[in-house]
Amino acid sequence: GAVVSQHPSRVICKSGTSVKIECRSLDFQATTMFWYRQFPKQSLMLMATSNEGSKATYEQGVEKDKFLINHASLTLSTLTVTSAHPEDSSFYICSARNFGSYNEQFFGPGTRLTVL
């Protein structure tokens, strides 16, 4: 199946700093990517839908100025957590929809963010 990568796999940062997470589709083009967040022992929660060349669509309750999403190319979307705080510590997962394959969606391995 298609491969989606995320970088970094884990990051520890100080409170108040910004962290950028990259999501790449390695062998297919993805016009749409999705960002999820998962807290311990909970399910994945959709944060936003990232569309190549346009603004992201955020789910209710997700602050767009805090979670900046850029989808500059058909293979790369980035999520920047600005002014991170300990409550932003979570597992962030991206997924990409395969442009050439109806309704197929592939997930990245996730990024573990710890804010001290």
Partner 1 sequence: DAKTTQPPSMDCAEGRAANLPCNHSTISGNEYVYWYRQIHSQGPQYIIHGLKNNETNEMASLIITEDRKSSTLILPHATLRDTAVYYCIGKGGSYIPTFGRGTSLIVHP
Binding positions for partner 1, rule: CB under 8 A: 1, 4, 6, 34, 36, 43-46, 49, 91, 93, 95, 97, 103-110, 112
Q: Which is nearer to partner 1, 66 or 112 (CB)?
A: 112
Helix, strand or coil for residue 53?
Answer: coil
Phi then psi for residue 9, to 5 deg, are -80, -30
- Closest approach of Cβ 83 to partner 1, in Å? 26
Q: Report angle CA 81, 86, 91 to the nearest 5 degrees.
A: 60
- Closest approach of Cβ 9 to partner 1, in Å? 10
Q: Which is nearer to partner 1, 65 or 102 (CB)?
A: 102
Gap between the Cα atoms of 18 and 107, Å rounded: 24
- Closest approach of Cβ 45 to partner 1, in Å? 8
Residues paired with residue 6 on neighbouring β-strands, in sequence order: 23
